[in-house]
Structure 1
Amino acid sequence: MKHACAIGILSLLFATPAQAALSVGAQAPTFTVEAVQDGAARQVELATLLKDGPVVLYFFPSAFTEAAETEEFAAKADQFRAAGATIVGMSRDSVGSLSGLSTGAAHGKFALGSADESLVNAFDVNDGAMFNTRTTYVIAPSGKIVFVHTEDEVRDHVKGALAFVQGMKK
């Protein structure tokens, strides 16, 4: 009995996945999602966005978590645009839940999409609970992932992605 309990406890400890993400060089999963931008519902399709240049796709845990990352992406949106990149934020929240964030922290500057479980799993950002990991990808127009940053701290996601897309433009 003690042995069975020990195995059960160990399996719980190791059941939570480590923060994983797709690797640089991987083909990004294609998607079309319901999204909101500046309070207005819209669809976001990765293939369409990639026709205009690289896409900075950042996954965040929830509209109810710290909005600093979304605010920072919004503050730098013009610089991303000047580098030819499109920003898309993504969480498991419904479009209705993301609406306030789209007009608030995002200042209407980019779309916030509602990712379902299959999309969260396809991008390997499932945290094993009801949220997803905080992960930023830069996806080249070819559909290949060229930059990945996974970290709970928000501070380096925007800085790293912006430096990368500015370097792509040179």
Structure 2
Amino acid sequence: RDRLDAELSRLRSTWVTPTMLACGEAERVLGSPIEREYSLASLLSRPDVRYADLMTLKRASGENVSRETLTEEELVERIEVEVKYKGYIDRQKEEIEKTRAHEEMRLPPDMDYDAVGGLSFEVRQKLKAMRPETLGQAGRISGVTPAAVSLLLVHLKRLRYGDKDNV
């Protein structure tokens, strides 16, 4: 993990500008010229750019922009995944944290699952039969989808904040 973190840090802190690259290098490696300064990490986040190709990017002087290149395939693959999917991964982490925050939210023992808009018939039946005590327990019932848990959360918030008209 240390080598992965070190390489990710290096990619984020190594910058290239249009004037420092050899003629045609951006087109060769990236498919198009660059108009401004970019970090190697932001260039790697492009869909068609591979780590190995990026490491061959040449300066106007003829030397490689990157003096260090990892060769272990597994590590290179992890770097590419981490850089290319960073936005998605960050959003998923946020979603997980939100879910954890609501895990212990108590469900009223007399909750009317028929009043929760958008729940499927099957999910309603399972919730009525199991009568989970918390939102987390509801989410662990087979067949209760994350979308159904979100609907329960919205319903609970509306109940708590007195928006009875939209429940």
Where on the TM-score scale, by shorter chain, does this alignment land: which range?
under 0.3
Greater CA radius of gyration, 1 or 2?
Answer: 2
Greater fraction of residues in strand = 1
Q: Quick check: which one's helix share is greater?
A: 2
Q: Please give the TM-score of this superposition, normalised by the length of structure 1.
A: 0.22
RCO comparison, higher one (Cα < 8 Å, 6+): 1
TM-score by length of 2: 0.23
